[in-house]
Amino acid sequence: MTRPFLPLTARSREETHRTATPLELFFDLCFVVAVAQAGAALVHAVAEGHAGEGVANYAMVFFAIWWAWMNFSWFASAYDNDDVLYRVVTLVQIAGVLILAAGVSRAFEEHDFLVVYLGYVVMRVALASQWLRAARHAASAEERTMCLRYAGGVLVVQAGWLALLFVPDGAKPWVFLVMALAELAVPVYAEKDAPSTWHPHHIAERYGLFTIIVLGESVAAATVAVKSGIVEHDALNELLPIAAGGLLIVFAAWWVYFVVPAHDRLTDSRQGFLWGYGHYVIFTSAAAIGAGLEIAVEQAVGKAHISTLAASASVTIPAAVFLLSVWVLHARYFKVGLAQQAVLPGAAAAILLCSFAGRWAVLAAGLVAAAAVAVGVTLTARNPATRPAPLR
Q: Looking at residue 389, what is its pLDDT?
A: 47
DSSP SS3 for 385: helix
Phi and psi angles of residue 167, each rounded to the nearest 5 degrees, phi first: -80, 160
What single letter denotes the amino acid at residue 269? S
Q: Looking at residue 57, what is its pLDDT?
A: 86
Note if the pTM is more than 0.95: no
Number of other residues whose CB lies within 10 A of the CB of residue 338: 7
* CA distance linking residue 376 with residue 253, whole number of Å: 13
- Residue ranges of the alpha helices (H) in 80-171? 84-102, 104-110, 114-136, 141-160
Asked if 97 and 19 count as a contact pair (C-beta separation under 8 A), the reply is: no
Q: What is the DSSP string of 78-90?
A: HH----HHHHHHH
Q: Looking at residue 269, what is its pLDDT?
A: 67
* CA distance linking residue 66 with residue 79, whole number of Å: 20
**CA-CA distances (angstroms) from residue 322 to 56, 124, 361?**
18, 29, 17
- Residue ranges of the alpha helices (H) in 172-268? 172-190, 200-233, 236-258
Task: Profile the chain (392 residues) by mean pLDDT over runs of 10 residues.
Answer: 78 85 91 86 86 87 90 92 92 92 84 89 94 92 94 94 88 90 94 88 91 87 79 77 91 90 71 86 93 90 87 95 92 80 93 93 95 89 58 42
